[in-house]
Structure 1
């Protein structure tokens, strides 16, 4: 049988239940053999993370330690330069071979900004895209992405059988959780409990992360 692997990249600063719920839903809906969480090292499109790369990796490991189908891949943390998704997909292709089906998971906002990504037109040569739609999204798509959706969209996960090149827009359970909000709560001395795993919260408290500088 063809190996089916999902890839969910992110800063994970910190990882929270929004990330984890999306990962589980995509894994089940697409019947993936595994889903890899890939922490970014130096994201080229975002501000520098508040936690170090090692701390963010350790938080992702803690969050996934009891689920053997959620794997942590530190390939981007080994690069001493900005991490580009297309290079991660190329590395996975080299590791898993041309017969594996790869599914790159992105949020709606990230998909809307896809033309600004490094070598973005090569992404679909390496993987299919799973776009997580938020029910309240109202961002207008660039024309080039409208054309791409018209040409590559698949209506249902059961029809998503190619090794790469397809796009599926997938509704997800709405969880209004963001890492920015969690960091803000901690910075204000408030509790983010029940927005992220207790193991991750305990790590944040032990490490003194996201507290205001005094």
Structure 2
């Protein structure tokens, strides 16, 4: 499970999903757009269009799935509820992973019922080379005894572990920066898939403006 607002989905999101799939030998990566993010402002583009952009961006990429389960659920998009839904689909013995970025991991203790996350899945933290901040004490208590060093050790159980993973192609692409570029009519070529760029242009999202000349 790799969640986010995907507003819009970009090459950093997609490349991270591909490398996560490869590094852990996963059957598939469910990329799940949030309907109502509980910890941030609601996206400016509606859920159906964010899902359509995600589907366009993934295309026929092996192992990646655009999953609309949070969009079909009313209320805030809590990760525990999403993992419970995946657990029902795949069964008690399946090895489930929730991938989170380093920034989100540092606030894990502020999530709704964080202990439940470990009852349902493993947590894989996508570390950043430039992120060296000490973990809050609350997070240290939450993950005490759960950290492992390898995917093999992680998958010895179906849930409950923590693995830090540094992906080889950490692209410094920001969805906020992309929205600003689009609003100003600047180029976003090679920052997001061409299919997503075309969708944004056709549907006039993010105040798309054609570049003069």
State whether TM-score is above 0.5: yes
The answer on whether the counterparts of 2:201 and 2:208 sit within 8 Å (CA) in structure 1 is no
TM-score, length of structure 1 as denominator length: 0.93
Structure 1 match to 2:166: 171
- Assess if the C-alpha contact under 8 Å between 1:129 and 1:165 holds in 2: yes
> Offset of 1:158 from its aligned partner?
2.6
**Correspondences of 1:97-176 after superposition (within 5 Å):** 97-161=91-155, 162-172=157-167, 173-176=169-172
Segments of 5+ residues of structure 2 without an aligned counterpart are none
Deviations 1:175-198 (A, max 9, x none): 110100100111111011101100
Structure 2: distance between partners of 1:135 and 1:117: 24
CA shift, 1:148, in A, is 3.8
Shift of 1:70: 0.4
Q: In 1, are the aligned partners of 2:109 and 2:142 still within 8 Å (CA)?
A: no
Checking the alignment, whether the CA contact within 8 Å between 1:9 and 1:40 is kept in structure 2 is: yes
Over residues 153-183 of structure 1, what are the superposed CA-to-partner deviations in whole Å (9 max), with x where a residue is unaligned? 1111232212100100001222110100100
Alignment correspondent of 1:54: 48
Contact 1:132/1:171 (<8 A) preserved: yes
CA contact (8 A) 1:61 1:72 kept: yes
Secondary structure of 2:192's counterpart equals coil
Counterpart in the other structure of 1:189: 185
- Equivalent of 2:196, from 188, 200, 209? 200
| Alignment check: 8 A CA contact 2:6 2:50 kept | yes
**Aligned counterparts of 2:170 and 2:84: Cα–Cα separation in 1:** 31
CA contact (8 A) 1:44 1:84 kept: yes
Which residue in 2 is equivalent to 1:74? 68
**TM-score between both structures, scaled by the size of structure 2:** 0.93
C-alpha distance in structure 2 between counterparts of 1:91 and 1:174, whole Å: 29
Query: What is the RMSD computed on CA atoms of the aligned residues?
Result: 1.4
State the aligned residue count: 207
Q: Name the SS of the counterpart of 2:207 in structure 1.
A: coil
Residue of 88, 91, 108 corresponding to 1:94 = 88
**In the alignment, which residue of structure 2 is the partner of 1:4?**
none
Deviates more, 1:8-17 or 1:149-158: 149-158
**Residue 207 of structure 2, aligned match among 186, 190, 211:** 211
